[in-house]
Chains A and B, each alone.
Chain A
Amino acid sequence: MSENNIKIQRNLWENPWGYIESFFIGIGLIITGLFLEVFSTSNNVFTLSYPYNVIFLIGYIVVLFVLYKWFTNSQIIRWLTKVPASISSIVLVTVLVMIMGIIPQIPSENKIINNLGLNHITSNWAFLLILFQFLTCLGLISIKRILQFKWSNFGFVLNHTGLFLALTAGVLGTGDLQRLSINVYEGKPSWVATDQQKKEIELPFAFFLKDFLIDEYNPKLALVDNKTGSIAHNDGKNLYLVEKGETYYFNNFEVKIDNFLSNAIRFGMRYEAVNEIGSPPAAKVTVKNIENDSIKTAWISSGSFRYPYESLKISKEYSVVMTIPEVKKFSSDIDILTKEGERISTVLEVNKPFKYKGWKIYQLSYDDKMGKWSNLSVLELVKDPWLPLIYIGIFMMIAGAIYMFWMGNKITKNQE
């Protein structure tokens, strides 16, 4: 269908617009956007919040619909529903995102980067304008294929409309997104959270932390260079887990772990298991030098915020140390208390947020200096009222991708 257009000699801006005109318009949009960046005085990021974003979305879709229905014959609408306009906007969005992939998106010293706003691409006018063209193309062709009402357009609609929904809802939704964090201490209720601007916000409910729990992996055994203090085995990768009864080999040393205690403190010559805040893991190791059969036995320990670590020097060059245990899992056993006197119990864990009254509550972090004795748990609360729309878009695209995998492409099939 398209090949004919291109073979016919035509002048610039003559019907129908092709790639040159498309890039002309697209680059024009970008330059306009960059001018806006340079000359706009306000530093506020352009965002719409409820109800303006909803009005905008509905208005946008209605306008797209009207444009498609009654203005199809106009040059610009014909252009917007054809591939050149799409490809040029896809390419230009790609170029701007590529800038984002090269220039770090953090405050910059560089004048040019600062003035053109190249360190905040996602809120840059140039990006917003070209994204607007991108979405307009996507919206118009979605409407076109939806109105054609054919089964063969099924995959097309899933892909294009899904992307349209996910992106528009994502962009417009940022204005309504709330992200708060709250410090919750064991044994007392907390209801004052802080938002991203560090402003305090009182919640209509409180969190009561019953217990904060950390599950740790065993510490690992490492061979350390006495001079540099750095790990001298296996490039620091694949260290051995300390487990009672295991025997490991480092170069010409055989290290046997005679005993392991996950919470212990030193009593004279040995460590003993205790149940005390800040008691670090400790292990008794026997190190045999295979070359001369000399044997050394000692207790080593990872140390903690309360107790020093202990290593074992096994030769002039090397020592054996035990690393600080890594976290396997951390979770907060909490009650949510409402003003009405309700009490909801739940356990929060990484990757297992809890939904409550439009909020999603995430386990964020804890006092990492105290490690497993932390009685502070940091939670995050996210309210994202546009999420359902975004999810509809994402799941349409997932379905579209599966359709695409199964059906393959039309060009191949038509000519088979």
Chain B
Amino acid sequence: MTWIDFPLYSSIIVILWFIGLVFLLISYKKQAVLKIANLLFVSGWAVMILFVVKLWIELDRPPMRTLGETRLWYATFLPLIGFVTFIRWKYKWFLAYSFIMASMFLAINYLNPETYSKTLMPALQSPWFIPHVLVYLFSYAVLAASSIVAIKGWFDSYKGNFNIETLKLADNLVYIGFAFLTLGLLFGALWAKEAWGHYWTWDPKEVWAFLTWMGYLIYIHYRYFHAQKSKQALTILALAFVVLLVCWFGVNYLPVANTSVHTYTQY
């Protein structure tokens, strides 16, 4: 299958978003141009929706059967979550992240036309697949950002000018990221129940996802109880991120890897 107009549509979308990103960058200096940036983002997104609707009608089924089609959905919903988060929390970098990721997925589809028809096994053809991956994409991004903030905190306290505001920023990012992480975990469980009849099998990937979740749980409770102990909190945050990285990349290298059903090298 080929999406005949895809190159045209995706170029329009990516160009609109790219100009939007430039304006977003300028808006750090001149707040007023933020409106222009948002206008560009929204128009790009409208074109995106138009394309998805057209494709759906043309295929006469929900486009959810191939790798290319799932990427299209990522590109559609990433900006949406990005916007909701931006409206609530005003992190401009996060808005930028969501549009860059979305553009990246469009670019991958554009560069690998043959993967439009890259096949998806039946178990992955589920309405839970896309939300599951999407919330994880966001969660990892926000939690990674919280770790960057933690590193800054370490660095500052090393130089003796640590500011508690830094930790508060980390807190907020952890809360947002942890909320997404919880959603990812639960969507995964609900999906597994629909596909295989059990929500949780303690498969290695699931074990490490659970550990990641517990790591941030420790951070949240430690912070709540010991609002002033910033050094220890920063350490917990760093350790939690290490567990996250193991979950993301490392599971394939552990002795348990060959018992996992989740070690697809790509999604």
B28 at the interface (CB under 8 A from A): no
| CB-defined contacts of B176 to chain A, threshold 8 Å | 405, 408
| CB-defined contacts of A170 to chain B, threshold 8 Å | 199-200
Which residue from chain B places its CB closest to the CB of A240 in the assembled complex? B114
State which residues 204-219 of B face A: CB under 8 Å: 204, 207-208, 210-211, 214-215, 217-218
Q: Beyond A87-B225, A398-B182, list 4 extra A-B contacts (CB 8 Å).
A: A91-B218, A98-B211, A397-B186, A408-B172
Q: When the two chains form their complex, are residues A411 and B223 in contact, meaning their CB atoms are under 8 A apart?
A: yes
Which residue from chain A places its CB closest to the CB of B265 in the assembled complex? A237
The contact string, 1 if C-beta is below 8 Å from chain B, for chain A 385-416, is 00000100010011011101110111110010
18 sample A-B contacts, Cβ–Cβ < 8 Å, listed by A number: A3-B226, A3-B228, A83-B221, A86-B221, A94-B214, A98-B211, A102-B255, A170-B200, A328-B119, A329-B125, A330-B122, A360-B197, A401-B178, A401-B182, A405-B179, A409-B175, A409-B220, A411-B227
Binds A, one of B5-13, B14-22, B43-51, B187-195: B187-195
Q: When the two chains form their complex, are residues B179 and A402 in contact, meaning their CB atoms are under 8 A apart?
A: yes
Which residue from chain A places its CB closest to the CB of B129 in the assembled complex? A351
| CB-defined contacts of A380 to chain B, threshold 8 Å | 197
A382 at the interface (CB under 8 A from B): yes
Assembled-state Cα–Cα distance A398/B128 (Å): 14
Q: Report which of A91, A217, A404 forms a contact with B119, defined as CB distance below 8 A.
A: A217
A59 at the interface (CB under 8 A from B): no
Assembled-state Cα–Cα distance A27/B172 (Å): 32
Which residue from chain A places its CB closest to the CB of B228 in the assembled complex? A3
Which residue from chain A places its CB closest to the CB of B183 in the assembled complex? A401
Are A350 and B125 CB-contacts (below 8 A) given A409-B172, A411-B171? Answer: yes
| CB-defined contacts of B118 to chain A, threshold 8 Å | 238
Q: When the two chains form their complex, are residues B197 and A100 in contact, meaning their CB atoms are under 8 A apart?
A: no
Are A326 and B179 CB-contacts (below 8 A) given A83-B224, A91-B218? Answer: no
> In angstroms, how far is the closest chain A Cβ from the Cβ of B6?
17
Name B residues whose Cβ lies closer than 8 Å to a Cβ of A. 65, 85, 88-89, 112, 114-115, 117-119, 121-123, 125-126, 168, 171-172, 175-176, 178-180, 182-183, 186, 189-190, 194-200, 202, 204, 207-208, 210-211, 214-215, 217-218, 220-228, 254-256, 259, 266
Of A93, A179, A239, A401, most buried by chain B (CB within 10 Å of CB) is A401
Chain B, interface SS category: helix
Q: When the two chains form their complex, are residues B226 and A2 in contact, meaning their CB atoms are under 8 A apart?
A: yes
Q: When the two chains form their complex, are residues A94 and B207 in contact, meaning their CB atoms are under 8 A apart?
A: no
Which residue from chain B places its CB closest to the CB of A381 in the assembled complex? B197
How many pairs of A and B residues are in contact by the CB < 8 Å rule? 148
Q: When the two chains form their complex, are residues B122 and A90 in contact, meaning their CB atoms are under 8 A apart?
A: no
Assembled-state Cα–Cα distance A93/B211 (Å): 9
Assembled-state Cα–Cα distance A364/B90 (Å): 46
Which residue from chain A places its CB closest to the CB of B123 in the assembled complex? A350
Which residue from chain A places its CB closest to the CB of B197 in the assembled complex? A382
Assembled-state Cα–Cα distance A209/B85 (Å): 49
| CB-defined contacts of A183 to chain B, threshold 8 Å | none
Q: Report which of A83, A237, A330, A397 forms a contact with B225, defined as CB distance below 8 A.
A: A83
A122 at the interface (CB under 8 A from B): yes
> In angstroms, how far is the closest chain B Cβ from the Cβ of A41?
26
Are A351 and B126 CB-contacts (below 8 A) given A98-B211, A241-B117, A412-B168? Answer: yes
Q: Report which of A87, A326, A397 forms a contact with B222, defined as CB distance below 8 A.
A: A87
| CB-defined contacts of B190 to chain A, threshold 8 Å | 394
Q: When the two chains form their complex, are residues A404 and B228 in contact, meaning their CB atoms are under 8 A apart?
A: no
Assembled-state Cα–Cα distance A93/B218 (Å): 11
Assembled-state Cα–Cα distance A105/B259 (Å): 9
Of B114, B197, B215, B224, most buried by chain A (CB within 10 Å of CB) is B197
Which residue from chain A places its CB closest to the CB of B222 in the assembled complex? A87
Q: Report which of B65, B178, B186, B204 forms a contact with A398, defined as CB distance below 8 A.
A: B186
A79 at the interface (CB under 8 A from B): no
Q: When the two chains form their complex, are residues A87 and B114 in contact, meaning their CB atoms are under 8 A apart?
A: no
Q: When the two chains form their complex, are residues B119 and A101 in contact, meaning their CB atoms are under 8 A apart?
A: no
| CB-defined contacts of B119 to chain A, threshold 8 Å | 217, 326, 328
> In angstroms, how far is the closest chain B Cβ from the Cβ of A153?
14
Q: When the two chains form their complex, are residues B204 and A101 in contact, meaning their CB atoms are under 8 A apart?
A: yes
Q: When the two chains form their complex, are residues A97 and B256 in contact, meaning their CB atoms are under 8 A apart?
A: no
Assembled-state Cα–Cα distance A101/B260 (Å): 11
Q: When the two chains form their complex, are residues B114 and A241 in contact, meaning their CB atoms are under 8 A apart?
A: yes
A68 at the interface (CB under 8 A from B): no
Q: When the two chains form their complex, are residues B202 and A122 in contact, meaning their CB atoms are under 8 A apart?
A: yes
| CB-defined contacts of A97 to chain B, threshold 8 Å | 207, 210-211, 214
Q: When the two chains form their complex, are residues A408 and B175 in contact, meaning their CB atoms are under 8 A apart?
A: yes
Q: When the two chains form their complex, are residues A93 and B255 in contact, meaning their CB atoms are under 8 A apart?
A: no
Assembled-state Cα–Cα distance A408/B118 (Å): 40
Are A238 and B256 CB-contacts (below 8 A) given A105-B202, A405-B175, A408-B175? Answer: no
> In angstroms, how far is the closest chain B Cβ from the Cβ of A382?
4
Of A105, A106, A170, most buried by chain B (CB within 10 Å of CB) is A105
A327 at the interface (CB under 8 A from B): yes
Assembled-state Cα–Cα distance A2/B89 (Å): 29
The contact string, 1 if C-beta is below 8 Å from chain B, for chain A 291-308, is 000000000000000000
> In angstroms, how far is the closest chain A Cβ from the Cβ of B235?
13
The contact string, 1 if C-beta is below 8 Å from chain B, for chain A 83-126, is 11011001101100110111111100000000000000010000
Assembled-state Cα–Cα distance A52/B168 (Å): 47
Q: When the two chains form their complex, are residues A104 and B255 in contact, meaning their CB atoms are under 8 A apart?
A: yes
Q: When the two chains form their complex, are residues A328 and B256 in contact, meaning their CB atoms are under 8 A apart?
A: no
> In angstroms, how far is the closest chain A Cβ from the Cβ of B249?
14
> In angstroms, how far is the closest chain B Cβ from the Cβ of A104?
5
Assembled-state Cα–Cα distance A380/B198 (Å): 11
Which residue from chain B places its CB closest to the CB of A104 in the assembled complex? B256
| CB-defined contacts of A409 to chain B, threshold 8 Å | 171-172, 175, 220, 223-224
> In angstroms, how far is the closest chain A Cβ from the Cβ of B230?
12
> In angstroms, how far is the closest chain B Cβ from the Cβ of A362?
5
| CB-defined contacts of A241 to chain B, threshold 8 Å | 114, 117
